[in-house]
Structure 1
């Protein structure tokens, strides 16, 4: 009888961030599709929530004695998804994720970076740590070419590097009825078009909030559409949406509940269009084949849109009401007609995203031979 394979996944989980929870859900879905008997253990900031939300074992991310125990008995550590390895938002988190990788290597457990978005890594010490530990790992998949270039800049050259795609792009579209029920509960179901906005706070900047408020008003006035703000991280996104809504003159709506990955996917699938700052709101729209427009605050937005053959409407500093409404007008015609080149790119990204899971299983297979 073959041994049950065990994988530990390290990432930013258990913090009510819909994007990171979606990446975890996508990794679990892809890995268990390939090996339904696999045992997955997740390092989490809230193990009870992770167990309940994803149906897997979970260990508190700072419980090092327990982490050592599970790593010593595992076939692979996955440092999984997202922009974990960067020092822009925090250098402490970078050192944390690198420390978990180093610990696994000390225990002779293989390490894989799974569809990571790498960088920017700016600090001299951070770059040295990335170079030292990055060259120890056994396999790297990154979600875009920009991340591979960042690894080259950091001189991480030893392990094989494969450009795949964000893990969430491996997910299958979900039933839209779940989202319809949520919209019905909030009196948002109806014949009028529905445009979703996904926003976040960024450095207390005010310009983009004013622009999005005026754009929301214009969408209601010019297109006869309803506008709804969809949260991706609670409660931060509620607060950012509230600041924008306070500047509007027309009726717009804010969803104020926390939703699961599949609820959010279904919600987004009921939109006629999504305008997003949050990366994974844009990815949800792509998975559900909903026209999208991205506003950039980070290279990861530009990189993802580039994979779709698109460009951001602007940055948080440069965005204008005129350019945003012009983009909405262009996308308006796409709502009812298929965009075959875009669909083909999405199919390719789905296959690339699933390839990360296949490579993880191949890495375990090499170790077990």
Structure 2
């Protein structure tokens, strides 16, 4: 029986990161059902309850060391852990966990990470030093691979795979249907979901989304529902945008599990997303999507499925967003076969992450 410790941004009510953890657990246990997994978490009680695995607090280094000393592998990932744009403290934290594992003589795998940007000279040096100590790296896109090359991280084997969530099985849509019914969001008109996030208190994109949402209602006869991915932050910005609209829209108020969010997205006719994992949920559930970019990871994901964004948070306009939506509108009834082929390839690559992790344990 294998014992694996997982380090990442878990226990912070971020639906994308919790979905990555759920996907990792699902893929690893699909291959080895009796595996023992311990997660380093910001809220161990929530992680135990939500995922049914053991968990330790992320700043309790003595306990982390105790658990790690009995383990066969440290997995760091997935997500955009190794970058210094949003914060350099988190970069050094995750590197310190990797360093601890190596000091204890344990193999370390970077699991489907989105690498960079790493801009500071000290951060680049730390990444290069510790990155070349790890045993195996998988990255979720070509851009992350290029960032590793730029940082001169070349010692470990490196594979370009895909985001772990893409390996998840589609879920029953009835769960989401029940949530929509509970909040008065049922109807025969096409349903467009919007997943947003706050960004530097910018107001431009909020006004654009409110105006575009009104046009979707008036020109396409659609219903609009906002789906929060990180609670309660996304709930707040969703309400701000909805309040700027002339027409009525819905805002789902709850904090939802990965399965509930997948099911909700599966009930949509189209999704507009700023959050990366809202777009990935749409891919898993075969729902047409329009992405708005705030980070290279959005562009990278859309490129891997043969798509492009509808604009950045700075550049997006109601016209550019409406043009993108009109281009996707017919796909509600006739799926884009080329994009589905891209997604199927990515699903296989995403599962490869778990296969490589367990092969490292066996070695």
Answering whether residue 2 of structure 2 is matched by residue 8 of structure 1, we say: no
> Residues 309-334 of structure 1: CA distance to partner in whole angstroms, max 9, x if unpaired?
00101100000100111111111111
Mapped to 1, the partners of 2:329 and 2:297 lie a distance apart of 25
Please name the residue that 1:17 is paired with.
14
Mapped to 2, the partners of 1:8 and 1:290 lie a distance apart of 34
- Report which stretch shifted further, 352-361 or 244-253: 244-253
TM-score normalized by the length of structure 2: 0.99
Please name the residue that 1:249 is paired with.
246
How many pairs are equivalent? Answer: 363
TM-score normalized by the length of structure 1: 0.98
Mapped to 2, the partners of 1:163 and 1:39 lie a distance apart of 26
Shift of 1:343: 1.1
Please name the residue that 2:187 is paired with.
190
Please name the residue that 1:51 is paired with.
48
Answering whether residue 123 of structure 2 is matched by residue 126 of structure 1, we say: yes
> Residues 16-69 of structure 1: CA distance to partner in whole angstroms, max 9, x if unpaired?
000000000000000000000000000000000000000000000111111000
Answering whether residue 121 of structure 2 is matched by residue 116 of structure 1, we say: no
The counterpart of 1:83, out of the listed 58, 80, 85, is 80
Mapped to 1, the partners of 2:185 and 2:213 lie a distance apart of 16
Please name the residue that 2:143 is paired with.
146
Give unpaired runs (5+ residues) of structure 2. Answer: none
Mapped to 2, the partners of 1:338 and 1:14 lie a distance apart of 36
What SS class does the counterpart of residue 344 from structure 1 fall into? helix
> Residues 206-261 of structure 1: CA distance to partner in whole angstroms, max 9, x if unpaired?
11011000001001111111100000001110111122112111001111100000
Please name the residue that 2:300 is paired with.
303
Mapped to 2, the partners of 1:188 and 1:296 lie a distance apart of 27
The counterpart of 2:317, out of the listed 293, 317, 320, is 320
> Residues 273-326 of structure 1: CA distance to partner in whole angstroms, max 9, x if unpaired?
000000000000000000000000000000000000001011000001001111
Please name the residue that 1:265 is paired with.
262
Mapped to 2, the partners of 1:204 and 1:128 lie a distance apart of 32
Alignment of structure 1 residues 89-104 onto 2, 5 Å: 89-104=86-101
Across the aligned residues of Structure 1 and Structure 2, the Cα RMSD in angstroms comes to 0.5
Mapped to 2, the partners of 1:116 and 1:305 lie a distance apart of 16
Mapped to 1, the partners of 2:93 and 2:336 lie a distance apart of 42
Please name the residue that 2:155 is paired with.
158
Answering whether residue 275 of structure 2 is matched by residue 281 of structure 1, we say: no
Answering whether residue 182 of structure 2 is matched by residue 203 of structure 1, we say: no
Q: Which runs of 4+ in 1 moved over 4 A?
A: none
What SS class does the counterpart of residue 314 from structure 1 fall into? coil
Mapped to 2, the partners of 1:347 and 1:201 lie a distance apart of 31
Mapped to 2, the partners of 1:262 and 1:238 lie a distance apart of 19
Shift of 1:338: 2.3
What SS class does the counterpart of residue 118 from structure 1 fall into? coil
Please name the residue that 1:65 is paired with.
62
Mapped to 1, the partners of 2:346 and 2:201 lie a distance apart of 34
Mapped to 2, the partners of 1:269 and 1:102 lie a distance apart of 40
Give unpaired runs (5+ residues) of structure 1. Answer: none
